[in-house]
Structure 1
Amino acid sequence: MNRRTLLTSCAGLVTAATIPGPLASAAVARPQREEPVRFQLPAPSGPYPLGTVAFHLVDTTRPDPWVPSRPCRQLMISIWYPARSGSAPHPTVPWMPPAAADRYLSFLGLPPGRVRLGCAHAHEGAPVGGPPGPLPVVLYSPGANASRSFGTGIVEDLASHGYLVVTVDHTYDAAVVEFPGGRVEMNPAGGISDYAKALPVRTADIRFVLDRVAVLRSGGHPGVCRTPLPTGLPGALDLRRVGMLGHSLGGATTAATMLADGRIAAGASLDGGAAGPVVDAGLDRPFLVVDTPGKGGMENNPALRAFWSHLRGWRLCLTVQGAAHQTFGDDALILPLVAPLLGMSPHDLEGEVGTIPRHRAQAFQRAYPRAFFDLHLRDRGRLLDGPSPDFPEVGYTR
């Protein structure tokens, strides 16, 4: 894939747009006379400060399915959690690791320094805090050709309310992955299109991550680089309460992994489809489908309708009016900022992030994933009982 054609509709930050030439000429000609475009995530809404730590994982039982010359499957994960008060001595982490951000923005054709992606709100390596006792665990899988960074807003908000969230980059399926030492990996072809292959690879990735998280819970080190463990992290993991959340192909990964692995008690899909054996087998555990009225939604996706019909546990489909595929992540905030630099028309932008106002997209991201996991991992909350006057754009289907 060349850089003129941006990532496909399963992607993350920028999708399905065509740059007129390598870049719009104005964006190339005036970078030094214009202020950089700056992105900064809004602060999370919960009562707890945040900590995070990244781990480099190596699965020695699998050669890499995308790059056969690599004898082991290598992944990067981040763990996000509520931190103790007074975490200021620990620096906040960048929204995307610096070398990965530089490579990705360059791939999109953006001049160096033209876009500043800012920092997250989590402090690297801060001691674990939050509510007493072990914390429920949520796994996050991004869309194809995306990055674990693109769900940071949802993830930080969950962690600020007392969840421990594990975000996963599926190497060579992800847009860009930075490993310790600054090594950056992208898909050799510029992006993936073989989703039938990607789904079992991702399922194996998530199951391996769960195995390594179990090692961490038992007091071992999950990674290969011996990153220092934040104080209190092993004891903070409650592996009896594990949920999973994914966007796009990450939503399909959530369903497929739940079928393969009973350790995941509840799953949520943000505008994701369904594929593989789970379509006909269904699930007997709680599952939330977040749908859009657009081309990829339940109305036009026979496999997703079949999967829905075979769900035997608690189920709910939420349809968000005015939403589009990139409404359900940080893309909803970033893409309007960078669209002019990429030559995206208002029509193209609307096709990616919809017509829903950005503050309403963010309100949905903060309220509904947490309500789902509160209900099924903490047995509390009423938002999912039925339509809410606070969210008139959200329709409910049982």
Structure 2
Amino acid sequence: MNRRTLLSSGAALAAATTLGPLAPAAAARPGREGPVCFQLPAPDGPYPVGTVALHLADTARPDPWVPSRPCRELMISVWYPARGGAGRPAAPWMPPAAAERYLASLGLPPGRVRLGSSHGREGAPVGGPPGPLPVVLYSPGADASRSFGTGVAEDLAGHGFLVVTVDHTYDAAAVAFPGGRVETNPLGGVVDYAKALAVRTADIRFVLDRLAVLGAGGHPGVCRTPLPAGLRGAPDLRRVGMLGHSLGGAATASAMLADGRIGVGMSLDGGAAGPVVDAGLDRPFLVVDTPGKGGMDNNPALRAFWSHLRGWRLHLTLRGAAHHSFGDDVLILPLLAPLLGRSASDLEEDVGTIPGRRAQAFQRAYPRAFFDLHLRGRGHLLDGPSPGFPEVGYDR
């Protein structure tokens, strides 16, 4: 994998990060086999899951990556506990137009890979526990897509959270907008990480502003996509958390520093950069890393950030994991690797030696435990090491 460096402007130290799910330089090997199909395992929460994709436009901000565009446009997906909705179609794991562009960028011929559906029923009525729902924002890794957080989003939604996954346009691999327009990174990949971090922070603050509109009963989007019944008024902006993978983890810390509405944050193998490294945070933060070069032991900027955390804090290390053991990467990469000519050692560098089912179990248990504890005041998984997760190292 092509490794890149995220520089901390505050500490002038490197924090490791990587590109998205796969570097696009690899070409698929020809073959006559049938299509490879990817399908997420079903979530196990007590509620069915609903979802809706929304097009947002910040008319007060020209696009920082493409100045010819007069406003900053984003696509988000809202995931929530549903009431019924069995007759509604399941949303695709990645919008078809974006999936086609993404797979082509990897050198995969049409029809060679089928990216299946999610378990979220499009437009299903909102259900779940009574009252407004605690909110969790998700920011993906650099050059990745909000789709790679679908597994975590579905799990949280099925347990009563309202989750918003965000595509950071011109940073994400491919973003499909209504009408079939697809936007990719005009530079072919993120190269200015300091700028990307600032843009993502502004994106998240804007998404929170639009969620406030939704919470007040309005429509947050551009195209007036029909909103599911019960979604207006559903977000509880008194209880907001955020998590992200890689650059999304760094963006979580930066967004928390910039916006006090985000009460808690969780970073999945993300670095730390910018003013938050030295300023720290006074709210709960969970750092999850791997034993590799981006981990706490080898990342001075992340150690400095950790030392300046003044609120509840916890550092977990997922043994046997690598950078792409988080998100849906850990399940899809083993399927794509043979098609892209990646060796077993290449794949181990990407997703480590941890079995995919154990990485998935971690992602179902620990984000939910963190947000349950700090947004709902319940749960004990984070009190100390758990015999059910012997691969998780625990450090206060």
Residue 167 of structure 2: aligned partner: 169
Aligned to 1:65: 64
Deviation at 1:288, TM superposition (A): 0.2
SS for the counterpart of 1:99 is helix
CA distance in 2 between counterparts of 1:198 and 1:294 reads: 24
Does residue 121 of structure 1 match 2:119?
yes
- Distance in structure 1 (CA, Å) of the matches to 2:341 and 2:280: 42
Instruction: Pick the aligned partner of 1:14 from 22, 34, 57.
Output: 22
Aligned position for 1:244: 242
**Residue 268 of structure 1 aligns to which amino acid in structure 2?**
M
Is 1:260 paired with 2:268?
Answer: no
Query: What is the distance in 2 between the residues matched to 1:7 and 1:207?
Result: 28
1: distance between equivalents of 2:245 and 2:187? 22
Q: Is the 8 A contact 1:12 1:150 kept in 2?
A: no
Instruction: Report how many aligned residue pairs link the two structures.
Output: 384
Describe the SS at the equivalent of 1:390.
Answer: coil
Deviations 1:163-197 (A, max 9, x none): 00001000001111000011000001211111011
Aligned partners of 2:25 and 2:106 also within 8 Å: no
Structure 1 residue 133: Cα displacement: 1.2
In 2: Cα distance, 1:12 partner to 1:163 partner: 26
Q: 1:384 maps to what in 2?
A: 382
Q: Give the aligned partner of residue 75 of structure 2.
A: 76
TM-score, normalization by structure 2: 0.95
Structure 1: distance between partners of 2:33 and 2:361: 31
SS at structure 2 position matched to 1:238:
strand
CA distance in 2, matches of 1:191, 1:276: 20
Per the alignment, residue 298 of structure 1 pairs with: 296
8 Å Cα contact 1:281/1:310 also seen in 2: yes
3-state SS of paired residue (1:182): coil
Query: Which AA in structure 2 matches 1:73?
Result: R
Give the whole-Å Cα distance in 1 for the aligned partners of 2:55 and 2:2: 28
Equivalent in the alignment of 2:103: 105
1:23 equivalent among 28, 42, 45: 28
The DSSP-based 3-state class of the residue aligned with 1:203 is: helix
Cα deviations by residue, 1:272-309 (Å, 9 ceiling, x for unpaired): 00000000000000000001000111111101000000
Q: Matches of residues 209-248 of structure 1 in structure 2 within 5 Å?
A: 209-248=207-246
Partner of residue 366 from structure 2, selected from 356, 365, 368: 368
Could you tell me which amino acid in structure 1 is paired with residue 20 of structure 2?
A: G
CA deviation after TM superposition for structure 1 residue 6, in Å: 6.8
Q: Higher mean Cα deviation, 200-209 or 230-239?
A: 230-239
TM-score by length of structure 1 reads 0.95
Give the AA of the match of 2:73.
Answer: Q
How far apart, CA to CA, are the structure 2 residues paired with 1:249 and 1:155? 18
Per the alignment, residue 51 of structure 2 pairs with 52
Question: 1:317-355, CA deviations, whole angstroms, 9 ceiling, x for partnerless residues?
Answer: 000100000011101000001100001011110001000
Q: In percent, how many aligned pairs have the same letter?
A: 78
1:277 aligns with 2:275: yes
Is this contact kept in 2: 1:203–1:256, CA < 8 A?
Answer: yes
TM-aligned CA deviation for residue 18 of structure 1: 5.5
Say if 1:6 and 1:18, in contact at 8 Å, map to a contact too.
Answer: no
Displacement, 1:236?
1.7
Amino acid at match of 1:14: L
Which of 303, 309, 312 aligns to 2:310? It is: 312
Q: Distance in 2 between matches of 1:116 and 1:269?
A: 30
> Tell me, what secondary structure is at the counterpart of 1:264?
coil
- 1:44-86 deviations in Å (ceiling 9; x for gaps): 010110100111111011111111111110000110000002x
SS of equivalent residue, structure 1 residue 143 = coil
Give the aligned partner of residue 11 of structure 2.
none
Task: Note the aligned Cα RMSD (angstroms).
Answer: 1.2
Structure-2 residue corresponding to 1:150: 148
Structure 1 segments unaligned to the other structure (5+ residues): none
Cα deviation for residue 88 of structure 1 reads: 1.7
Q: Provide the residue aligned with 1:43 in structure 2.
A: 42
| Aligned counterpart, 1:189 | 187
CA distance in structure 1 between the aligned counterparts of 2:232 and 2:304, rounded to whole angstroms: 40
CA distance in 2, matches of 1:160, 1:228: 22
The answer to whether the Cα contact below 8 Å between 1:140 and 1:245 also exists between their aligned partners in 2 is yes
In structure 2, list runs of 5 or more residues that go unmatched.
5-16
CA distance in 1, matches of 2:286, 2:137: 15
The CA distance in 1 between the partners of 2:20 and 2:68, in whole Å, is: 27
Partner SS, residue 180 of structure 1: coil
2-structure distance, mates of 1:38, 1:264:
37
Secondary structure of the residue that 1:132 maps to in structure 2?
coil
Report the CA distance between 1:371 and its aligned residue. Answer: 0.3
- Counterpart of 2:348 in structure 1 is 350
Paired letter, 1:198: A
